[in-house]
Structure 1
Amino acid sequence: MRLSPKDAALKFVNRYFPKCQAAVLAGSVVRGEETETSDLDVLIFDKNFSSSYRESFIEYGWAIEAFVHNLTSYQVFFHSDRDRAMPSLPKMVSEGIVIKDEGIIATIKNEANVLLAHGPEKWSEEIIRIKRYFLTDILEDYIGCLKREEGIFIANRLAELVSEFVLRTNQHWVGTSKWTVRALKNYDIHFAELFVDAFDTYYKTGDKNKVICLVNHILEPFGGQLFEGFSLGKEEASNQLK
């Protein structure tokens, strides 16, 4: 018999991590977005472990992912998530339901909330310039591609770069897979709709125009497409010759 998410998480924690100082239930079940294939994400905080690890279980009718940390290892993941602009662990901590707490969760949740509110580091002008070049390069491949089987995968890559460019230049968190469109919606629901429509149109009909217009639109405020005059690593190479 499948227990409720919270009951299953509590039994799981008591069985496998009875000495932990805190546990949090996170993921789609706490957001009301669970599906038939959803699992339970359970965060464990236990001072007795020397490092963090992840382990999968099948218990109480659920697939359960345990993310185990000591009382400091989670901070390494917080910083790593901020560096890559994908706040997986901070978001889980922030929105999670407390299953067990010996007085430490409030501090950890506050750290997560501060990080989430701050957002990722702002892109430098040089990073934006590099990203403009690679967007231009992939766009040209996309425009010139005559093979449907290749175009599908070029479009996939272009979608990743477009979402990353829009979100990072606006200092918003990014996402992958299903989190791509969720991150775009968190930024701007209207843009997210345009993004989905453009790529959906291409996948359904082969019409590239909406995607091309979308890419040019997001590049325009930063100087548009970039190819001529772009270089990468030239200065370092020149210095080695001196």
Structure 2
Amino acid sequence: MNESRLQPLEAAKRFIADKFPYCQAAVMAGSVVRGEHTATSDLDIVVFDDKVESAYRESFIDYGWPIETFVHNLTSYKDFFKSDCERARPSLPRMVSEGLIIIDSGVACAIKIEADELLKEGPAMWSKDTLVTKRYILTDVIDDLIGSTNRAEEIFIANTLADKIHEFVLRTNGQWVGDSKWVVRALKQFDEEFAGRFVQAFDVFYRTGGKDEVIGLADEVLKPHGGRLFEGYSMGKGDRI
């Protein structure tokens, strides 16, 4: 860490006092709070300010830190909570739930409880039709990887397959999904052993080109739901005259 940097909490407190002195609450979240920060980590701060007309995001460099702010009034965060949960990636609820309260006029605890309850509830289960479509999509990507003989294309097919496998296994088990580094984190929260095999399978593929472990993993998550699906799949077919 840069010697000129303040400690994270002190930096966050000074930043809020300087940039948002009249806010109702502020919560510091992210890797610093979890004790997982690296040399390139920033400070993620959710600000609640009833003077703000609409939510916005803004980045700063201050007190030796890159600082990412997520600014809300006392109602806008609810729309973000809702949309995050509908897409099954609860970014803002997780930040608020895990976050450390920096300043509070009496609203932060109630908002954190809202976030906690949403996270505990989990995402809505897929409908039968959605599950069928997701099986079909995952099958299609598996077939693309099996049939490809172009290494450059295989790399990006595998990227897509990693995302689809992680989404399928988590959503069919009522779990939140992730993005980027949160793919592995979400899998670990669900099942450490499966997450280890997931990483191993894709590590083997990217190092050696071996596809068998990746394909086997995809088939494993599909099996409880009927396996691969191609023949008979239909979407948008209505009655025809």
Q: TM-score range by the shorter chain?
A: over 0.9
| Letter of the 2:109 counterpart | A
Q: What is aligned with 1:166?
A: 169
Pairing 1:22-171 to 2, within 5 Å after superposition: 22-171=25-174
- Residue of structure 1 aligned with 2:21, choices 18, 21, 41: 18
**Whole-Å separation in 2 of the counterparts to 1:117 and 1:82:** 11
Q: What is aligned with 2:196?
A: 193
**Whole-Å separation in 1 of the counterparts to 2:141 and 2:129:** 19
Q: What is aligned with 1:205?
A: 208
SS of 1:37 mapped into structure 2: coil
Normalised to the residue count of structure 1, the TM-score between the two structures is: 0.97
| Letter of the 2:217 counterpart | L
Identical amino acids, percent of aligned pairs: 58
**1:95-125 CA distance string (max 9 Å, x none):** 1111100000111000000000000011111
**Whole-Å separation in 1 of the counterparts to 2:193 and 2:13:** 40
**Whole-Å separation in 2 of the counterparts to 1:127 and 1:89:** 25
**Whole-Å separation in 2 of the counterparts to 1:164 and 1:219:** 12
| Letter of the 1:15 counterpart | D
Q: What is aligned with 1:181?
A: 184
SS of 1:234 mapped into structure 2: coil
**Whole-Å separation in 2 of the counterparts to 1:98 and 1:156:** 37
**Whole-Å separation in 2 of the counterparts to 1:199 and 1:28:** 25
Q: Shift in Å at residue 217 of structure 1?
A: 1.0
**Whole-Å separation in 2 of the counterparts to 1:130 and 1:93:** 33
**1:74-94 CA distance string (max 9 Å, x none):** 000000010000111011101
| Letter of the 2:230 counterpart | F
**Whole-Å separation in 2 of the counterparts to 1:98 and 1:216:** 44
- Residue of structure 1 aligned with 2:223, choices 200, 220, 223: 220
**Whole-Å separation in 1 of the counterparts to 2:13 and 2:219:** 51
Structure 1 residue runs of 4 or more that deviate by more than 3 Å after TM superposition: none
| Letter of the 2:198 counterpart | F
1:5 and 2:4 are equivalent in the alignment: no
**Whole-Å separation in 1 of the counterparts to 2:55 and 2:125:** 29
**Whole-Å separation in 2 of the counterparts to 1:55 and 1:207:** 43
| Letter of the 1:193 counterpart | G
Q: Shift in Å at residue 212 of structure 1?
A: 1.1
**Whole-Å separation in 1 of the counterparts to 2:6 and 2:25:** 21
**Whole-Å separation in 2 of the counterparts to 1:116 and 1:169:** 16
**Whole-Å separation in 2 of the counterparts to 1:25 and 1:210:** 40
- Cα RMSD after superposing both structures: 0.8
Unaligned runs of 5+ in 1: none
